[in-house]
Structure formats: C-alpha cells, structure tokens
Amino acid sequence: MMASSLRNKAQKGFTLVELISVIIILGILAAVITPKYFDMTTKANESVAKGVKSEAVSRFNMAYAQYVLDKGKVPTALTDLVDSANGKYLGTSAAPNVGDYVFSYALADDVVTCTITMSTGTATPSWATGGITNTVTIDWPS
C-alpha cells in the first residue's frame, strides 16, 4: 500500500512555480527574438530593393553600350534605346518586363528616372515602404 501511494505522488505533474518559470523564460525569449525578426525583414527588403535597382541601372547601361556598339554613335534620346522591331536594347518599349518587375524609364533634363512596379499590375513592390523608394535615377551619359 505504501509503494502505491508513493507512485501516485511522483506522477502528479508540474508545480505552479515550475509552470510560471517556464512561462517567464518563454516571454523573455519572445522579447529578444521579435525585434531581431523585424530587423531581419527590414534588411531583407533593403537588399531586394538594392538588387532590383542595380538590375534596372545595369539594363540601362547595357542597352546604352549595345546601341553604341551597333550604331557607332551615342543615342540622343531614350526612344533610341527602344527597338520595337526586334526587341534589342531596352526591349520593345521603355517599360521592359523583367520577370517579377517592370522597369519604366523616362528621360528629363539629362536624368533617366526608372520607376519599378510589379509585373502583375501597377502596384508598387512590397519593399517600397519605410523610406525605400521604387525609383532610381541614372545620369544620361554624355
């Protein structure tokens, strides 16, 4: 009889102090992890924005260089870099679709402004928030 009552006492479960201790530890972990998570998402958005903007600048520079190589002269306008016949340079329009994004190039006062939108519509990219813009400017080469 004595052995069975000792076995029942050992199987009762956790004490209130143990449960509260675990809850406090989980709360501390959550308080430490949450700011790190939001910081990581911000940094990821900034990295995506830098990559997409670099792609936009690279595409413009490559189109400009390819035009110079093909024609032997520099383009005088942004429309020179649009080849609707065979899609060379920037493509068939000044707003080429490059997968997830559309780059819309516009020239004003020797500055090319590229506006980046989603290829699914006119919505701005999800990373274009919190001070990260969806535009990039490129000086027109002279």
| 13 three-class SS | coil
Pairing type for strands 101-108 and 111-118 reads antiparallel
Query: Which stretches of the chain are assigned E, i.e. beta strand?
Result: 101-108, 111-118, 135-139
28 lies in some domain: yes
33 lies in some domain: yes
Evaluate whether 59 touches 96 at the Cβ level (below 8 Å).
yes
2 lies in some domain: no
* pLDDT average, residue stretch 32-50: 84
Q: Which of residues 139 and 7 earns the better pLDDT score?
A: 139
Per-residue tokens: 131: 């001070």
Q: Over 80: is that where the pLDDT of 54 sits?
A: yes
Cα–chain-centroid distance for residue 17? 46
Confidence category of residue 14, pLDDT binned at 50, 70, 90:
confident
Q: Tens of pLDDT along 97-107?
A: 777 888 888 88
Q: What is the rounded distance in angstroms from the CA atom of residue 121 to the CA atom of residue 116?
A: 11
Which H helix or E strand runs over 90?
none
Q: Tens of pLDDT along 113-123?
A: 998 888 776 67
125 lies in some domain: yes
8 lies in some domain: no
Domain count, the chain: 1
Confidence category of residue 13, pLDDT binned at 50, 70, 90:
confident
6 lies in some domain: no
Domain residue limits at 101: 15-139
9 lies in some domain: no
114 lies in some domain: yes
